[in-house]
């Protein structure tokens, strides 16, 4: 069982949390100008990184606030926890699956 450090409540069991998928996927700035392909990218395409992955979690059985986390999707090791709106910290990826934290595709659109 994983132990997550909620930025507000401190270390808690993973069962208190719900997963929210990839972090830093911004809503399109000009949605009316998106093509079908771009809508598909925004709605259905997410990174599926083998290695360090920035993702969102909500502490649903605690403070009920969302936060971001960087986790290794192979070892499940938690590398960083940071608040919504903050940028992911620079972390050396020893797994070599990914040279650095990916710039999320969705954030560009």
Partner 1 sequence: MSTEHLPEHPEFLWRNPDPKKSYDAVIVGGGGHGLATAYFLAKNHGMTNIAILEKGWLAGGNMARNTTIIRSNYLWDESAAIYEHSLKLWEILPEELEYDFLFSQRGVMNLAHTLGDVRESVRRVGANQLNGVDAEWLDPKQVKELCPILNINDNIRYPVMGATYQPRAGIAKHDHVAWAFARKCDELGVDIIQNCEVTGFIKDGNRVTGVKTSRGTINTEKVGLCAAGHSSVLAEMAGFRLPIQSHPLQALVSELHEPVHPTVVMSNHVHVYVSQAHKGELVMGAGVDSYNGYGQRGSFHVIEEQMAAAVELFPIFARAHVLRTWGGIVDTTMDASPIVGLSPVENMYVNCGWGTGGFKGTPAAGLTFAHTIATGTPHTLNKPFSLERFETGALIDEHGAAAVAH
**Residues in touch with partner 1 (CB under 8 A):** 1-2, 14-15, 18-19, 21, 36-37, 39-40, 43-46, 48-50, 53, 55, 71, 73-76, 105
Q: Please, what is the minimum distance in Å from the beta carbon of residue 71 to partner 1?
A: 7
Contact between 71 and 55 (Cβ < 8 Å): yes
Q: Please, what is the minimum distance in Å from the beta carbon of residue 62 to partner 1?
A: 16
70 by Cβ neighbours in 10 Å (0-12 / 13-18 / 19+) ranks as buried
Question: In this complex, which beta carbon is closest to partner 1, that of residue 7 or of residue 57?
Answer: 57
Q: Please, what is the minimum distance in Å from the beta carbon of residue 40 to partner 1?
A: 4
Question: In this complex, which beta carbon is closest to partner 1, that of residue 55 or of residue 88?
Answer: 55
Q: What is the DSSP letter of 85?
A: T
Q: Please, what is the minimum distance in Å from the beta carbon of residue 69 to partner 1?
A: 10
Taking CA atoms, 83 is separated from 31, 55, 70, 88, in Å, by 26, 11, 11, 9
Give dist(CA 109, CA 15) in Å, integer. 33
């Amino acid at each position: 069982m994983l132990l997550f450090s909620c930025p507000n409540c401190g270390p808690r069991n993973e069962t208190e949390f719900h997963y929210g998928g990839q972090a830093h996927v911004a809503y399109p700035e000009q949605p009316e100008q998106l093509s079908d392909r771009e809508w598909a990218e925004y709605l259905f395409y997410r990174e599926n990184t083998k290695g360090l992955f920035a993702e969102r979690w909500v502490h649903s059985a605690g403070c009920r606030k969302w936060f971001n986390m960087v986790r290794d999707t192979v070892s499940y090791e938690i590398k960083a926890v940071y608040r919504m709106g903050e940028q992911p910290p620079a972390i050396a990826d020893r797994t070599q699956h990914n040279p650095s934290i990916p710039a999320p595709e969705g954030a560009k659109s």
